Amino acid sequence: MMDATKIPQPAQQAAEQFPIAFHDQITYVGPLGAAWAPGRVNLIGEHTDYNDGFVLPLAVDRVAVFAGRRRDDTTIRLWSQHFKEYAQFSLAGLPETFEQQRGGLPGWARYILGVMAELARAGVPLSGFDAVVGGDVPLGGGMSSSASLEVATVQAGALFSGGKFTIGEENATLKPMEVAALCQRAEHSASGLRSGILDQSASCLGKPGKAILIDCRSLEYRYLPFADPALSLMVIDTGVRRELATSGYNERRQQCEEAVKILRDVITQHEPGSMQAQQIRALRDISPEQFARYKQYLPEILRRRAGYVIAEDERVFQVVALLEKHQVEAVGPILWQGHAGLRDEYEVSCVELDTLVEVAHQVPGVLGARMMGGGFGGCTINLVRNEAIETLRQAVEQRYPERTGRQASIDICRAAGGPGHTSFS
């Protein structure tokens, strides 16, 4: 059994609710247990993941949780603390029965079914269970609530497998990055969003006080120190929710793919002997110098989209170099630049996000801010000196509603650990 102080608070709360939510006379096979996985913020490297590029996220101290018990059949019954509703599906016939079962489930449970279908496809041994699903990652608030739910689902699968399915670096059924890739596939099938691997990998790899540099092509990663006691990360939610899939995320992805095709053709024509040119597969393979030389061959929109992505990969390397030297304050200006690129070149910002960034810009002690995640709504990330937290809070509370007619919500996050599971006895 795990030290109770290490079990995230929301997991304890879900465990307390379990006997209330599931009180029928079922014979369970195992003890009460809990599984959890964190949300994430992304310091820099936005919309670079699906361009085979680089990202620099950190897992935050907010988690999605399951608390429940193993059954002796293939049924999964769930109670959502957020939505106050039950959902039920069967492991039998997965992944083939995914489509058929999906239709009858509420949105949140589709992610769980999607992950179970992918685990079944991977041949992982699974068992049925009853569980309360909850957590404190703000839903749809830009901290990747869906990815944290997916990764927590895999942990729940391991917890309720009775030791047959393990997750870890060595001698385990699945390695952390295999879990991330599997959850990314589940996200695609559950939501239709052609998302990259940023959110799921950040959730799988979190470490207290560390940012994670991830190469989204090789899936290699390494940790960088991110803990300056004088600074805080504030996440400010616009309150604007737009379905990413319908609001241009998939379109941006297509535009990047189109830009790659054009640039590869042009560069191979101009540099016929070049192996590098022939091997261009993604924007990640085009250097800023090469882009400057050939960008005039792209239609104007694609030039802006590709220009943003190539510059953003460079910004990731700049931030990495600063973190290696423990110069966290110097990261600030790079965040403002990232926002300008997302707003003007990649065009995934919106009035509300721009307003929050402008308000932050006027507050002394805010070192940098930018929109975070897919965009078109969601939240901003702000790197703030501790003494400026209150001033920024007041500025947002006053000016954001004045300019947008909406309320923003403000959270302070810390770089936290990754997913886990435990039995209570």
**Active site members:** 199
| Residue number with CB closer to ligand GLA (126 or 310) | 310
Residues 6+ apart with CB under 8 A from 367: 231, 329, 331, 332, 333, 335, 383, 384, 385
| Residue number with CB closer to ligand GLA (147 or 389) | 147
The residue ranges that bind ligand GLA (CB under 6 A) are 46-47, 49-50, 195-196, 198-199, 373-374
Shortest Å, Cβ 37 to ligand GLA: 15
Residues 6+ apart with CB under 8 A from 45: 53, 54, 55, 56, 57, 198, 312, 313, 315, 316
| Residue number with CB closer to ligand GLA (146 or 404) | 146
CB 255 within 8 A of CB 302: yes
Shortest Å, Cβ 13 to ligand GLA: 27
Quick check: helix, strand or coil at residue 371?
strand
Nearest to 293 by CA among 326, 312, 269, 317: 269
Shortest Å, Cβ 46 to ligand GLA: 4
Both tokens of 68, joined, read 């429940």
- Cα dist from 205 to 39, 40, 275, whole Å: 11, 10, 34
Shortest Å, Cβ 238 to ligand GLA: 15
Backbone dihedral angles phi then psi of residue 54, each to the nearest 5 degrees: -120, 145
Shortest Å, Cβ 403 to ligand GLA: 25
Residues 6+ apart with CB under 8 A from 56: 42, 43, 44, 45, 211, 212, 213, 214, 224, 316, 319, 320
Shortest Å, Cβ 347 to ligand GLA: 14
| Residue number with CB closer to ligand GLA (131 or 306) | 306
| Residue number with CB closer to ligand GLA (7 or 244) | 244
| Residue number with CB closer to ligand GLA (49 or 61) | 49
Residues 6+ apart with CB under 8 A from 373: 42, 46, 142, 144, 379
